[in-house]
Amino acid sequence: MNGETTIYIVEDDEPVRDSLTALLESEGYTAVPYGSAEDFLAHFHPGGGACLLLDLELPGKSGLELLEILGHRMHHLPVIVITGKADLGARSKALDLGAAAVFLKPANPDVVMATIRQAAG
């Protein structure tokens, strides 16, 4: 895979964040993990090949709020949601806000990686 492609991870559950980071790095991606939407927004600089793996339930700003912010700032960052929230309304809203896909935890790693490859280009 392309080491120049950065995959941002916004996930508050540290073991899940660490697992996603290890999976992405084993596939040759540069993984940049964050524990909150605020932390991500404070450090995110758009540009280059990138993708965002996003949880919906976060401390502070939710994943849906982050999707809205990114949309208002017109960042065309592909977003893949991986969430434990089974609420169909929240999943539908994530897709309406521009998420490329929504997966329920635990998600199949092979399917998630195929989606990342497609979304990140």
pLDDT in tens, the chain (121 residues): 445 789 999 999 999 999 999 999 999 999 999 999 999 999 987 777 789 999 999 999 999 999 999 887 767 789 999 988 768 888 889 999 999 999 988 888 899 999 998 888 6
Residue-level pLDDT at 8: 95
Half-sphere exposure of 101 (CA within 13 A, CB side): 19
- Torsion region of 60: left, alpha or beta (phi above 0 gives left; psi -120 to 50 gives alpha): left
Residue-level pLDDT at 40: 94
Closest CA to 103 of 15, 29, 22, 16: 16
pTM of the model: 0.90
Span 6-120: which CATH code?
A: 3.40.50.2300
Tokens of 32: 């940049």
